[in-house]
Amino acid sequence: MTRFYLPVAIGVLFFTFWYNSDIQEIAAGVAIFLFGMLMLEDGFKLLGGGALERMLEKATGSTIRSLMFGILSTTVLQSSSLVSVITISFLSAGLISLIGGVGIIFGANIGTTTGAWLVAGLGLKVEIAAYAMPMIAVAILLVFQKSKRLRGIGYALGGLGFLFLGIHHMKVGFDAFKDEIDLLRYALPGLLGLIVYCLIGMVATVIMQSSHATMVLILTALAAAQISYENALALAIGANIGTTITAIIGSLSANFQGKRLALAHLIFNVATAAVALVFITPLREVVDLISASVGIADTDYALKLAVFHTVFNVLGVALMLPMLHRLIRFLETRIAEPVPDVSQPRYLTEAVDAFPQTLESALRKEVMHLYDNAMELIFHSLNLHQHEVYASDSIETVVRQSRAPYDLDIEENYERRIKSLYSAIIEFSTRVGERSIDADVADRIYALRDVAGDIVQAVKSAKHLRKNILRYTLRTQGSVTELYDSLRVEIARIAVEIRKLEQEDPEERTALWLDHERSQVEEDARNAARRVEALIRKNQLTPNAATSFLNDSDYAYGAMRKLIEAARTYYIERDPAIAEVEKLLSLDEDELIDPHPANAPSPEGHKSVVENE
């Protein structure tokens, strides 16, 4: 299908250009208008510096806030498509809720009506091409500046200039066109007209992927008396359905949440359009009443169309808002959350690729997904079950009671659940790192990649333990079993401590607490070596078993160090200045051996540290 789309589209354009040269002017007007929208989007992206994304994160606290954000952002950006694509991206990255996302889409439908007002109120009444030329000329000067801000202003100004120029060319095209062909002859009255023109409006918007461009086309054609007011109303309704195509395309690369939002967008716009079509006569009367009350002339069909566009979108929101929770339940049932495939990345979808905030957040979640997989595999390789360890007050007891072997193909599990995710994380972070993103964000992306590397190293170390865990811990064999049990306990203890840190309120926790575990690991490693020496001297451990244990303890303590290192980097403060404080206060490797040598602490002796404050 897509293979034929481009040649057919070009063929149709050439045919119509040959049929009537004035269509060239209209088509060029549409093209210039769309180009202006792209420039405007680029300008706001440069100017915003992520401000829009940051606001979006905070704007979904309530339905009303989401709605207001959708209205405002679409009014400023003059593109509901851009707002819906950003919303899908944020939803896919887990930064906003589905109900918040749907609220924004509802708001965007109201925000987009400001475009019709702009064109009907200003674009068709003032000779805007006169403003467009100097705007474009000044804009191009700014676009070539080094400063990001000036470039942003340049793109936004140029975008606006091209929007104006596009409208001008459409107007000129229709004016010339009407001298030769009177499209009004093709106007269809009644229900047939409503349906046919509604379909035309929908198809035109799907092709141009912009309801804005369609609305401008309708308004200019209406102003040139090339279409009837009734048919223009139907075209506007159709454009509202067609505009959902951008969200649908955007959702193809998104996860199930993005797809739910695109479906919500489609349901909202189709339902609104259906209501508008059914109640077209009373709606027209309402539009006439409003127009008369605000002083719009009865024959000013362009402004009346803008009133109609606003009324039917506001009506749609008013009708759908009370049903919002029911709609969310329907979406959740219709597009069910897929049973998680642990071997596939859950968050690193193409939909999160466009914005720094979604990139970082998605990568963070994916690294946590890798950690969850890794801990499950590490626990199973030790013949332990996470839920038993986490639920118990005594890890030692759980370990002593865990003598049954866990049926596990560790290599296959490593390939499927660890390596596949790690590869996706490496590919993603490398790809993202090559793009021009803020140095702070890039640093955090690379740090998260390193966290993933540490987690993988920990799993690799745990893999080495598996053989002798099976050999020495399935039944009690004296000292050697106790030694291996102690390694199992210590690894489990680290997992428990990391879990505690994860469950703490982010405002109350600090990665510095992990220094306690780092110090303990070094102490345990030294004690284990001393214990082995003592057991050999007492002939309670064969040299073979001792050698195996010393090798394995290297792997075990290596795994613990890597897990702690991963957690320290993952949970370091996001505020760069506080992160610096944490780095300064953190103990170095050589300080871990004896952090407080002068006086071994006693609980009583240390009370003063806090009480003296």
Binding interface with other proteins (CB under 8 A): 508-510, 512-513, 515-516, 519-520, 523, 575-578, 580-585, 587-588, 591, 595-596, 600-603, 606-607, 609-610, 613
DSSP assignment of 302-350: HHHHHHHHHHHHHHHHHHHGGGHHHHHHHHHHHSPPPPP-TTS-SS--G
Give the residue with the Cβ less far from other proteins, 6 or 439. Answer: 439
Nearest C-alpha neighbor of 149 from the set 243, 54, 44: 44
Shortest distance in whole angstroms from residue 510 CB to other proteins: 4
CB 458 to other proteins: min, Å: 21
Q: Which of 189/576 has CB closer to other proteins?
A: 576
Question: Which CB atom, from 134 or from 506, has the smaller least distance to other proteins?
Answer: 506
Residue whose CB is less far from other proteins, 299 or 612: 612
State in angstroms the smallest separation of the CB of 563 from other proteins: 17
CA atoms within 13 A on the CB side of 54: 5
Shortest distance in whole angstroms from residue 493 CB to other proteins:
9
**CB nearer other proteins, residue 97 or residue 520:** 520
DSSP H helical ranges for 474-586? 479-503, 514-537, 543-570, 576-585
Q: How far is CA 379 from CA 35, 389, 499, 577, in A?
A: 56, 9, 14, 36
Are 233 and 287 in contact, with CB atoms under 8 Å apart? no
CA atoms within 13 A on the CB side of 68: 9
> Closest separation between CB of residue 72 and other proteins, Å?
31
Q: Which is nearer to other proteins, 3 or 530 (CB)?
A: 530
Q: Which residue, 54 or 606, is less far from other proteins as judged by CB?
A: 606
Contact 464, 552 (CB under 8 A): yes
* CB 466 to other proteins: min, Å: 27
Q: At what angle do helices 148-180 and 129-143 cross, to 10 degrees?
A: 150
Nearer to other proteins, 341 or 580 (CB): 580
Cβ pair 309, 118 in contact under 8 A: no
**Smaller CB separation from other proteins, 112 or 510:** 510
Closest separation between CB of residue 501 and other proteins, Å?
A: 11
101, 91 in Cβ contact below 8 A?
Answer: yes
- What's the min distance (Å) between Cβ of 583 and other proteins? 8
Instruction: CB nearer to other proteins: give 6 or 609.
Output: 609
Strand, coil or helix: 143 = helix
d(CA 237, CA 309): 8
The helices-and-strands tally (H runs, E runs) of the chain is 28, 0
Query: Which is nearer to other proteins, 407 or 604 (by Cβ)?
Result: 604
Least distance in Å: CB of 48 to other proteins? 22
For residue 270, give the nearest of 203, 202, 213 by alpha carbon: 202
d(CA 116, CA 122): 10
What is the nearest approach in angstroms of other proteins to the Cβ of residue 296? 55
Give the shortest CB-47-to-other proteins separation in angstroms.
24
Q: Which is nearer to other proteins, 325 or 606 (CB)?
A: 606
CB of 562 to other proteins, least distance (A): 20
Rg, the chain, Cα only: 32
First to last CA, the chain: 73
In whole angstroms, give the CA distance from residue 126 to residue 85: 33
Whether 226 contacts 264, CB under 8 Å: no
What is the enclosing helix (H) or strand (E) of 237?
helix 229-242
Q: What is the 3-state secondary structure (H, E, C) of 82-126?
A: HHHHHHHHHHHCCCCCHHHHHHHHHHHHHHCHHHHHHHHHHHCCC
SS3 217: helix
Please give the backbone phi and psi of residue 250, each rounded to the nearest 5 degrees, phi first.
-60, -35
Give the integer Cα–Cα distance in Å for 332 and 279: 30
